[in-house]
Structure 1
Amino acid sequence: MICDIRIDDRLIHGQVCGFWIPHHNLQRIVIVDDEIIHDAQRKTALKFGCPDKCKLSIFSTDSAADKFNRKIDEGIRVMILCQSSIPLLKLYEKGYHFKEITVGNMASKPDSTRIRKTLFVSKEEKEAFIKLSEYGVKIISQMVPSEPREDIIDEIRKG
């Protein structure tokens, strides 16, 4: 069961480990990223940072779409975690459909636009968010579970 689809460019860090894993009682986090999949050092660091009670898998968008479409994690409490909206658009266009994305931190980067305090998007990320919203996916901002959930697609469109 996919409990949440979350964007946070820090990936495995304090908020995910301290708040989101217990909030959803997660058994697995699946990072979907076409670059990290080829970076052994980064994969090792991410796995080291993940709590023992929660397994971590790292997949390319192609592999993740195939696995999620086949419901390979059915019966397991899973969070999909990405650094940006781009891999989620790829997942959606490869047939893995979902209704909502929760956005946390997306740090400033070259040529990015500030949408909120800790949310900066590049032109490509903005286009991916807009396309996902056109498919009917809600774009929700929420840093930690205790904060209110806010639909931010209008802010992204204006940004």
Structure 2
Amino acid sequence: MAIIGSRIDGRLVHGQVANLWATKLDISRFMVVDDAVAENNIEKQGLKLATPSGVKLSVLPIEKAANNILAGKYDSQRLLIIARNPEVYLKLIEAGVPIEEINVGNMSQTDETKSITKSINVTDEDIKVFEKLVEKNIQINAQMVPGDRREDFVKLLNNRK
């Protein structure tokens, strides 16, 4: 399978993803999965500018991303899936995409969020979705950059409830 990593990051493609994660995981394609961004040409252009040379970029709605992955379109590539929230991953998994592990990076703070770490903030709805992912035996960890220690996200989440 071509999926090398799956990351939740509200910033999608940015310096940490483009430089550190892409290099560490030897990524050949970023797949940003986001229904709204897939329809927004300005956001797509920004993502293209942030993508390092030598790495391909796909910006797809959830259904098309699942169909492309399941059809084997990226089997010869090293794919990093990036989404803003856990709901995208739940939908991909329910569509049959074989994701075993999710790395939680930056999730921005809003009036509706609870702080889990200094850079991870979740809504009550996010918590419900993370719980559904755990029920599906998905391993979830928190790690901002490759040099940081990986932490069990579920433990972090349970400590903050």
- Letter aligned with residue 145 of structure 1: P
Contact 2:104 2:153 survives alignment (8 Å): no
User: TM-score of the superposition, structure 2-length normalised?
Assistant: 0.94
Residue 30 of structure 2 corresponds to: 29
Q: Distance in 2 between matches of 1:47 and 1:109?
A: 27
Q: What are the within-5 Å matches in structure 2 for residues 74-113 of structure 1?
A: 74-113=75-114
Distance in 2 between the 1:154 and 1:46 partners?
32
Q: For residue 7 of structure 1, what is the aligned residue in structure 2?
A: 8
Q: Deviations over 1:46-84 (max 9, x none)?
A: 111111211110111100111111221001111000111
1:146 paired residue number: 147
Give, as a single letter, the amino acid of the residue that structure 2 aligns with 1:76.
Q
Pair 1:137-2:138 in alignment: yes
Matched residues in 2 for 1:62 and 1:110: separation?
Answer: 30
**TM-score when normalising by structure 1:** 0.95
CA drift at 1:110: 2.6
The answer as to whether partners of 2:7 and 2:81 remain within 8 angstroms in 1 is yes
- Using the TM superposition, give the Cα deviation of residue 97 of structure 1 relative to its aligned residue in structure 2, in angstroms: 2.5
Q: CA deviation at 1:119?
A: 0.3
Q: CA RMSD in A?
A: 1.1
Mind listing any 5+ residue stretches in structure 2 that lack a counterpart? Answer: none
Distance in 2, Cα, partners of 1:96 & 1:128? 17
- What CA deviation, in whole Å up to 9, does each residue of 1:133-152 have, x standing for no partner? 10000110111111121111
Give deviations 1:74-122, integer Å, cap 9, x for gaps. Answer: 0111100011111111111111131110111111023111111110011
* Identity fraction in percent: 33
Counterpart AA for 1:131: K
Q: 4+ runs of 1 displaced by more than 3 Å?
A: none
Q: How far 1:156 moved relative to its partner?
A: 2.1
| Aligned residue identity for 1:141 | A
Partner of 1:58: 59
What residue ranges of structure 1 are gaps of 5+ in the alignment? none
Deviates more, 1:91-100 or 1:57-66: 91-100
